[in-house]
Structure 1
Amino acid sequence: MIKGLYEAHLPVKNLEVSIEFYRKLGLKFAWRDEDTAFFWIEEGKSWLGLWEGKEYQTPYHPSLRHIAFRVTYQDLKESVKWLESIKVEPVPFGRRTSIEPFVRPNQGNASVYFNDPDRNSLELICYVKVPNELKHITEKLSFGDWENLVKGKLT
């Protein structure tokens, strides 16, 4: 039934700063009013709403302030360079210390994380084809380790 993201909303302290940040990520501006702005994630399909207000300045758990943007595997491989080129710092996920993208074989995806100016958690994520014999791996693997592991297993 669910086909993708329709909309997501994030609290922001300064709407102008956030508008500039999300434009820098390449999202297309849709519209704004006094204290909200919307950006297309996929034009005509899904969008992101930003809501400015003092009540949004209280820290929240990242699970309440998180959006994942779908990308290709190749884009994810280049994501750290891209983020750095637009002056956005990637951040480690969870207990990881590396900012590099990583693969979750048991979930069939790979991702890299970063924050917006209000420390909302953002993620670039892609699907990863996982051979059946590797789906039990719960460890998060670097792209290099992953590609060495699946070499010759994917056809």
Structure 2
Amino acid sequence: MIKGLYEAHLPVRNLEASIEFYKQLGLGFAWRNDDTAFFWIEEGKSWLGLWQGDEYQTPYHPSLRHIAFRVTYEDLKKSLKWLETIQVVAVPFGRRTSVEPFIRPNQGNASVYFNDPDGNSLELMCFVQVPDDLRRITDKLSFEEWEKLMDSYLK
């Protein structure tokens, strides 16, 4: 099921300084927003997320205790059954109540979340080909919703 690393995260105190540092290391800049930046480790395969903030002032900082493993789209569709066979329980992401895998069209990826025995957040994640004009969709879509949308888009 797991093909490699999709992403790892690090907390940083100064995002601008960290961006310059990781550029100097030769990592390819992928994207950024106000308090996060992502760099390619292997372009199109794995990246590093930098999160600005003081991790000691909040009970949970998104960059701590989380990694994502790269899987295929088809494997992600079967991930809940696979997790069940190895006696691992999926957990909802963020404010979601469903544990079902979901698509993020605006980011071009899909995920399902679970925890390790120590409560570390783990994720199975894959890249998803998204037409440019559908990247405006910021809602998280189920696989069923995504595939219906793509069927109607391609007609």
Q: TM-score, normalization: structure 1?
A: 0.60
CA RMSD of aligned residues (A): 2.7
Q: CA deviation at 1:60?
A: 5.0
Deviations 1:83-142 (A, max 9, x none): 011100000000000000000000000000000000000000000000122110000000
Matched-pair identity in %: 75
Runs of 4 or more consecutive aligned structure 1 residues displaced over 2 Å after TM superposition: 59-63, 152-155
Per the alignment, do residues 154 and 70 of structure 1 end up closer, same or farther by CA in structure 2, a change over 3 Å counting? farther
Aligned counterpart, 2:87: 87
3-state SS of paired residue (1:83): helix
Q: CA deviation at 1:154?
A: 5.2
- Contact 2:76–2:125 under 8 Å retained in 1: yes
Residues matched between the structures, number:
104
Q: Which runs of 5 or more structure 2 residues have no equivalent in the other structure?
A: 10-45, 47-58
Q: Larger Rg: 1 or 2? A: 1
Per the alignment, do residues 147 and 123 of structure 1 end up closer, same or farther by CA in structure 2, a change over 3 Å counting? same
Aligned counterpart, 2:49: none
Which region of structure 1 is more displaced relative to structure 2, 59-68 or 110-119?
Answer: 59-68
Deviations 1:61-103 (A, max 9, x none): 3521001000000000000000011100000000000000000
Aligned counterpart, 1:116: 116
CA distance, structure 2, for counterparts of residue 64 and residue 80 of structure 1 = 24
- Contact 2:8–2:68 under 8 Å retained in 1: no
